[in-house]
Chain A
Amino acid sequence: MIAIKISFKLNGKWVEADVEPYKRALDFLRDDMGMTSVKEGCSEGECGACTIIVNGRNVHSCLMLAVELDGKDVWTLEGIIESGETYISEAYADVGAVQCGFCTPGFIVSTKVLLDENPNPKEEDIKKALEGNICRCTGYARIIEAVKEAARRKRGDAS
């Protein structure tokens, strides 16, 4: 099978790559691009551990082909942190919303999409925004608290 040339923006920088037509975005980002924050969980769009941002929207990289990234603006947790947007991950750590941590990158990515759109989410908005991310450790209470804390920090409110 002939590899397909793609060119896209990964975490703010244009990159080029040759990808097999059947390679998933998840495998390409992890194995070829070294973006190991993108986790393989269920591989069927249930758990959200592989969540990335494509053109401003959060999507499952396990249900997407690498070739579909062509021309897109793609963000993973690595890029969010490197660009200095650490207020979400810090809020998760400070509130204690991380236990084993496997789901955390996906949660932070979905949280970023929520807060970029709605800097003052109500609890219901938070639950709706995170309904595609599953955490088997925390029971979600701390995660919801962390999103509220991150929202306060983004708005610049004293906590």
Chain B
Amino acid sequence: MKFNYAAPVTLEELSELKKGGGKLFSGGTDLFVKMRAGVLKPDLVVDTKKVETPKLECDKGLRIYMNTTYTDILKSGCARKYSLLMKILLEVGSPQIRNRGTPVGNLGNASPAGDFLLSTYVYDSKVIVGPSMREVPVKNFVKGPGKVDLSDEEFIYAVILEPLEGYTTYYEKVGRRNSMVISIASIAVALKIESGVIEDARIAYGSVGPTVVRFTDLEEKLIGERPKKELFESLAMEYSDRVKPITDVRASAEYRKKLTGNLLIKAYLNMNL
């Protein structure tokens, strides 16, 4: 397979090249796999790494920029208080993938199994879209599997995660082995409990629908309640009923539905509320 390579240094050039049909990449851990499999056959690949951007900013939420790798975040001191994010990033791929792959790329790829993508739903993240630098909430940005709200000349410049202060969190990815696996289902939970009562609840699932899913009406059922096992058991059944997973090579839809409820119960039991 033959293709051309460009490495622009400004965001304007980057935008022009994308508009002309170039495929953007930073780490290449998704693009080159797809090209190898023949799913994508671009005439031009556009390396974003020559564009100078900050790596991370931690003062107003956590800002992750286009060329920031998973390893950059895991090694950064200031991102450490985003403990749920750290747990999730440690489970991404392998050292080799984390050293090259980027959260912004994972977002752009918009796989319902995307590990970083799952975290963005719990952190109520916003996507900064260049070149205009408009801001879009992640749940509006992701339209479906591999589909995002970007026009031809637009690209993801950064993503902002809002901090979760005083939350208890849980994350689990179910797959055939721990590393390098594409999840059968995954869950991320963040609960804020004040004086024994649930004040805020965020529950996101990966791989059980066309995108990462959160059901705010179900989350609201927890608010004002004491965290009792029976409460989570009945909510687990509602989640199992609500999700619409598919059957694929990794698991059946029925299995994923069952797993959806069980993961919530497991999260409750492991959070020691």
Tell me the A residues contacting B by CB distance below 8 Å: 1, 4, 20-22, 24, 43-46, 48, 51, 57-60, 62-65, 67-68, 110, 113, 128-129, 131-133
Contact = CB atoms under 8 A, between A and B. Distances in A.
A58 B93 CA distance: 13
B28 interface: yes
Contacts of A48: 94, 96
Interface in B164-209: 178-180
Given A48-B96, A59-B99, A60-B100, A131 B5 contact: no
B180 A1 contact: no
A22 B3 contact: yes
B5 A21 contact: yes
Contacts of A20: 2
Pick the most buried of A51, A128, A131, A133: most chain B CB atoms within 10 A of its CB: A131
B15 interface: no
Contact of B5 (A4, A44, A58, A62): A4
Contacts of A110: 95-96
A46 B180 contact: yes
B4 interface: yes
Given A48-B96, A132-B96, A63 B1 contact: no
A63 B179 contact: no
Secondary structure type dominating chain A contacts: mixed
Given A65-B5, A131-B180, 19 more contacts: A1-B2, A21-B5, A22-B1, A22-B2, A45-B32, A48-B94, A63-B27, A63-B100, A64-B100, A65-B28, A65-B47, A67-B7, A68-B47, A68-B49, A129-B95, A131-B95, A131-B178, A131-B179, A132-B97
B47 A21 contact: no
Nearest to B47: A68
Interface residues of B, number: 28
14 contacts: A21-B3, A22-B3, A44-B37, A57-B71, A58-B95, A59-B99, A63-B33, A67-B5, A128-B95, A129-B95, A131-B178, A131-B179, A132-B94, A132-B179
Interface string B87-128: 000100111110110000000000000000000000000000
Nearest to A70: B7
Pick the most buried of B7, B37, B49, B71: most chain A CB atoms within 10 A of its CB: B7
A48 B97 CA distance: 10
A132 to B, nearest CB: 3
A62 B45 CA distance: 16
Nearest to B32: A63
B87 to A, nearest CB: 13
A68 B49 CA distance: 9
A52 B49 CA distance: 19
A129 B97 CA distance: 12
B36 interface: yes
B29 interface: yes
A44 to B, nearest CB: 5
A46 to B, nearest CB: 6
Contacts of A65: 5, 28, 45, 47
